[in-house]
A and B are shown apart, each in its own frame.
Chain A
Amino acid sequence: MAIIGIIYAMFNGTMEQVNEALFEGASDAVTLVISLASVLVFWLGMMRVAEQAGILRGFAKLCRPVVRRLFPGIPDGHPAMGYILANFSANLFGLGNAATPMGIKAMEEMKKISKSDHASNSMITFLVINTSSLTLVPTTVIAIRMEYSSAAPTEIVASTILATFITSVSAITIDRIMQKSRQN
Chain B
Amino acid sequence: MVEWMTVISIWLVPVTIMMILIVAIIKKVPAYEVFVEGGKEGLKMSISLLPFLLGMLVAIAILRSSGALDAFISLLQPILSKVGIPAEIAPLAILRPISGTAALSVTTEIIKTYGPDSFLGRLASTMQGSTDTTLYILTVYFGAVGIKKMGNALKVGLIADFIGIIVSVIIVSWLFL
Contacts and interface: CB of A to CB of B under 8 A. Distances in A.
Interface of A: 1-2, 4-6, 8-9, 12, 14, 17-18, 20-22, 24-26, 28-30, 32-34, 36-37, 40-50, 52-55, 93-95, 98, 100-101, 103-104, 107-108, 111, 117-119, 123-124, 127-128, 130-133, 135-141, 144-145, 148-160, 162-164, 166-168, 170-171, 174-175, 178, 182
A29 B60 contact: no
A138 B53 contact: no
Contacts of B129: 133, 135, 138, 140-141, 156, 160, 163-164
B42 A128 contact: no
B57 A29 contact: yes
B10 to A, nearest CB: 9
B9 A155 contact: no
Taking chain A's interface residues, is the majority helix, strand, or loop, or is none over half, making it mixed? helix
A6 B122 contact: no
A14 B67 contact: yes
A170 to B, nearest CB: 5
Contacts of A43: 42
Contacts of B60: 1, 25
Interface in B121-145: 121-122, 125-134, 137-138, 140-142, 144-145
Nearest to B58: A25
A75 B29 CA distance: 26
B116 A145 contact: yes
Dominant secondary structure of chain B at its interface with chain A = helix
Contact of A14 (B37, B66, B152): B66
Contacts of A148: 111-112, 115-116
27 contacts: A2-B63, A4-B68, A14-B66, A18-B62, A21-B64, A22-B62, A41-B40, A44-B42, A44-B45, A46-B38, A49-B31, A49-B38, A55-B23, A94-B9, A104-B45, A107-B147, A117-B149, A119-B142, A130-B137, A159-B168, A163-B129, A163-B130, A163-B168, A163-B171, A167-B164, A170-B163, A171-B159
A57 to B, nearest CB: 12
Contact of A6 (B49, B66, B150, B159): B66
Nearest to B26: A53
6 nearest CB pairs, A to B: A48-B38, A138-B129, A25-B61, A150-B116, A21-B65, A171-B160
B83 interface: no
B79 to A, nearest CB: 19
A46 B138 CA distance: 24
B159 to A, nearest CB: 6
Contacts of B172: 159
A168 B163 CA distance: 10
